[in-house]
Amino acid sequence: MLERSLYNNVLSGVSVSGDLFFYPNPLESINGAKRSEWFGCACCPSNISRFIPAVPGYIYAVNNNDIYVNLYIDGEAEMTLDKTNVQLIQSGDMPWGGNVEITVNPEVAATFTMKIRIPGWARDEVVPGNELYWFKNNSEKQAVVKVNGQTLSEELENGYFNITRNWKKGDVISIDLPMDIRRIVSHENVEGNRGKIALQYGPFVYCSEGVDFSDPSILDLVMFDNSKLNAAKEKNELGEMIVISGKASQTQRMMDGTVKLTNEVDFKAIPYYAWAQRGVTPMVMWYPSNKDVSKPKPAPTIANLSRIDGSINNRSIEAIRDQILPSSSNDKNCQFFHWWPNSNQTEWISYTFDKPYTVSKSKIYWYNDDGGCRRPAAWRLYYLENGKWNEVSGKNEYDTQLHVMNTVDFEPVTTTAVKLEVDLPKDTSSGIHEWIIE
């Protein structure tokens, strides 16, 4: 768990330049994100600056006459046992490769135990017990440990390979850890991960970014169980790293609501720690393994063929036409748009069509978090005619019910644009999950 946190969570929290920081570590981002220089509550930067210099203290541990090797990081260390002082020199190609050498230099020949940790990922274990997460594909290889070239066959004890012997200066422990692309699945009760897989190579968890695809909207990707993947070293603007490549499929929603597989595309994944270093671009870490759990590209409805504008116009405004309906008005697993922190005023959004359409129905699913965003005080619907906004007529009530789609039918109008005007409630704001025009 420490190794996963070190190579993934901690490193992703700070930029490669070392001066920009994340507060959360999201596993998916529809619009992308960027790190911040500072926070009002700045516990994250200070925790990182405190943790990094503490890393050497996690590599080894000593207990009486036992030396624990916990992390594989190049360097030298000295420690005191019951009967002698010992110098350790560690070198190898971890974390990108699985080969490690540890030279053991006791001050005088002495008997003690070297406890060599074999990481869970090198013995088909994502987390202890494999009850929450597990590998879908086990490795065909096993970790190999040698002393002075001789392979050892001792049994693992609590994840450690115990080597007790009379150690002399210059003895060398060689460790060969299997490095494979692994597919991870999680327990069915982790609702957001059902039907999905994550990718791991060695200690690194991987993700994909839109910047590496011809179409950056990558949340529609599907990674089938039999999709062939390759791992190879690449040198890029982020340094040298192992990247995963192969093929994936895209999905799109049809006008009848069904989801269809469309193109096969070139696939690429980078270590999760390296995301959001090359500009703001969508990111995904858990990949659907079938089309039914993907986030397909929207069907070409009137709304999705329109230009969208608003009194607040940011990337989240696209949420109102992503064709993903929430389970409730306060469903934060679905994207939503809001006017927070504005309150006590009128806001608006509009669709400008790609051509004139005759429309007669509007459907809205309001966002409500029972906090800063509540149902609106009132709202109205307008259409554009001869350069002027006119309110629709012959309508039923402008409803503000929560947890349902609020439908307004009105006299048909032929227009090139519609506008939704919203009166925010007293001292709070409002938001929208979805706005459909028919």
Task: Kindly state the average pLDDT of the residues 287-294.
Answer: 93
- Determine the pLDDT at residue 45: 86
Percent of residues, the chain, with pLDDT higher than 90:
81
| Mean confidence (pLDDT) of the chain | 93
- Determine the pLDDT at residue 320: 95
| CA-based torsion, 49, 55, 58, 62: positive or negative | negative
Peptide bond into 298 cis (omega under 30): no
Task: Kindly state the average pLDDT of the residues 66-81.
Answer: 96
Label residue 41 by pLDDT band (50, 70, 90). confident
- Determine the pLDDT at residue 382: 97
The β-bridge relationship of strands 406-423 and 181-186 is unpaired
- Taking the C-alpha atoms of 412, 414, 417 and 420 in order, what is their torsion angle to the nearest 10 degrees? -10
CA distance 59 to 415: 68
For the ranges 82-86, 199-203, 236-240, 433-437, which has the lowest average pLDDT?
236-240
pLDDT at 154 over 80: no
- Determine the pLDDT at residue 127: 87
